[in-house]
Amino acid sequence: MVHELKEAGEFKYIDVGDGPPLLFLHGLFGALSNFGDTTDHFARRYRVVMPMLPLYSLPMLNTNVKALAAFLDRFIRHLGLSQVNLLGNSLGGHVALVYCSQHAQTVRTLSLTGSSGLYENAFGGSFPRREDKEFIRKKVAVTFHDPKFATDELVDECFETVNDRAKLIRILSLAKSAIRHNMAAELPKLNMPVCLIWGKQDTITPPHVAEEFHQLIPHSELFWIDQCGHAAMMEQPAEFNAILDAWLTKTLG
């Protein structure tokens, strides 16, 4: 289902359903559509909210994970949300972690899937062959266990992005910021319940990263999805939704 994109000031976002607030955060090459099946599933019983992160519109000198967490804080204040259930994928998970370390009183639960914050095997420091669409296709395919999910639409979107110099500079700045901003010292201080859902075949944030998150975060539970890469909510949506739904139901009582 295609949901209305709302706009208010600096914010563009989806806001559907009623119930406890469930806020999704997409990753560096992600989009709102990455959570399509998950949005449809949870909007039946939750207020699902998902902002477009300003990956390409932050000032160049302030294009980093902390700035995205500050944007998230402004967004949550704008909507007047409290007791938020956060879910972040990849860079979105990292943004959620930074936000939780600064505004724990606002967060009821945190769910992470393929999150950066400890380690990630990202695209690397540059795109030496960014004009080569097949090279970009292979880079996109690494996100998934099954390369069929690297659709022409995703490849075209990524190709266009990395060949836009202003966007590429910001992507590389955000990727470097994520690598520099290691959360290991902050994770043991998190007190909210945390759900970790990881693809067993994730090569960007491999399984050992999930294990380390689980070890460092006090109130965390770790769930695995087989035949699944870095974007579990896209590659195995039914299993992902079932795990998250059961965990939220149990945790929220």
pLDDT tens digits, residue range 45-66? 999 999 999 999 988 888 999 9
**What one-letter code names the amino acid at 170?**
R
Establish if 24 belongs to a structural domain.
yes
pLDDT for 139 equals 82
pLDDT for 5 equals 94
Task: Answer yes or no: are the C-beta atoms of 46 and 251 closer than 8 Å.
Answer: no
The structural domain count of the chain equals 1
pTM: 0.94
Find how far residue 159's CA is from the centre of its chain.
Answer: 20
Q: Which two tokens stand for residue 58?
A: 């932050």
Alpha-helical regions (H) of 87-191: 91-102, 133-141, 152-162, 165-180
Establish if 189 belongs to a structural domain.
yes
We report the CATH number of the domain holding residue 65 as 3.40.50.1820
Q: What's the rounded Cα separation, in Å, for the pair 112 and 114? A: 7
Beta pairing, strands 107-113 & 194-199: parallel
Establish if 139 belongs to a structural domain.
no
DSSP secondary structure, 7-60, as one string: EETTEEEEEE--SSEEEEE--TT--GGGGHHHHHHHTTTSEEEEEPP-TTTS-G
Establish if 146 belongs to a structural domain.
no
Instruction: State the DSSP code for 83.
Output: S
State the pLDDT confidence band at 124, using cuts at 50, 70 and 90. very low
Domain containing 211 equals 6-122+182-252
Establish if 169 belongs to a structural domain.
no
- Secondary structure (3-state) at 147: helix
pLDDT in tens, 83-107: 999 999 999 999 999 999 999 999 9
Establish if 116 belongs to a structural domain.
yes
Establish if 76 belongs to a structural domain.
yes
Find how far residue 1's CA is from the centre of its chain.
Answer: 20
CA 107, 217, 38, 95 torsion-angle sign: positive
**What one-letter code names the amino acid at 25?**
L
Residues in the chain: 253
pLDDT for 219 equals 97
Establish if 114 belongs to a structural domain.
yes
- Secondary structure (3-state) at 221: strand
**Mean pLDDT value across residues 194-208:** 97
Q: What's the rounded Cα separation, in Å, for the pair 231 and 31? A: 12
Q: What's the rounded Cα separation, in Å, for the pair 48 and 22? A: 5
Task: Answer yes or no: are the C-beta atoms of 24 and 35 closer than 8 Å.
Answer: yes
